[in-house]
């Protein structure tokens, strides 16, 4: 993987149990999260990122596809490993994000994706970030570490 990547999908959901819907772009609001997403306004869980390569690896382990939207993460990136160390900063499109913690896969994934999904996604389920600087995040945007 390189040090730069691209946004390949953006998903939001208006509520906790509502389906994720693909959008071409989302506005990341500093200190609040993605406008229109269920976590907008929460303290630290502003936006979640996952790596397309990690999901492909999970699909190999699971033996079936892992559709990006069913993991319930907001942004899927390709071309770089999503950082997991708290405090690491990433420029995603116009927004500046900071790692809060690793996103643990939920046991409900076994219901959604089938038995074994939670285990297949362990250490591959992405990272939770807070938004430090507002800006749009669009499909096709560059993603890179921010020194």
**Which residue range(s) make up the domain with 50?**
5-145
pLDDT one digit per residue (tens) for the chain, 147 residues: 568 999 999 999 998 778 899 999 999 999 999 999 999 998 878 999 999 999 898 888 889 888 888 888 999 999 999 999 999 999 999 999 999 999 887 777 777 777 877 787 888 888 999 999 999 999 999 999 986
Q: For position 108, what pLDDT does the model report? A: 72
CATH of the domain at 113: 2.40.33.20
Domains: count for the chain: 1
Query: How much is the pTM?
Result: 0.92
Helix (H) or strand (E) segment spanning residue 47: strand 47-51
93 secondary structure, DSSP code: T
69 secondary structure, DSSP code: G
Give the residue from 118, 88, 116 showing the smallest Cα distance to 100.
88
């Amino acid at each position: 993987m390189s040090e730069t990547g691209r946004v390949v999908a953006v998903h939001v959901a208006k509520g906790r149990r509502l389906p994720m819907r693909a959008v071409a772009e989302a506005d990341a609001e500093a200190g609040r999260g993605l406008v229109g997403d269920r976590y907008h306004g929460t303290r630290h869980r502003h936006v979640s990122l996952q790596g397309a390569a990690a999901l492909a690896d999970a699909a190999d382990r699971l033996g079936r596809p892992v559709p990006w939207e069913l993991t319930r993460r907001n942004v899927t990136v390709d071309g770089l490993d999503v950082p997991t160390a708290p405090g690491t900063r990433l420029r995603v499109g116009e927004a500046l994000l900071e790692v809060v913690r690793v996103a643990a896969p939920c046991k409900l994934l076994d219901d959604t994706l089938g038995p074994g999904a939670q285990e297949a996604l362990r250490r591959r389920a992405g990272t939770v970030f807070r938004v430090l600087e507002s800006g749009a995040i669009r499909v096709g945007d560059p993603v890179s570490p921010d020194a």
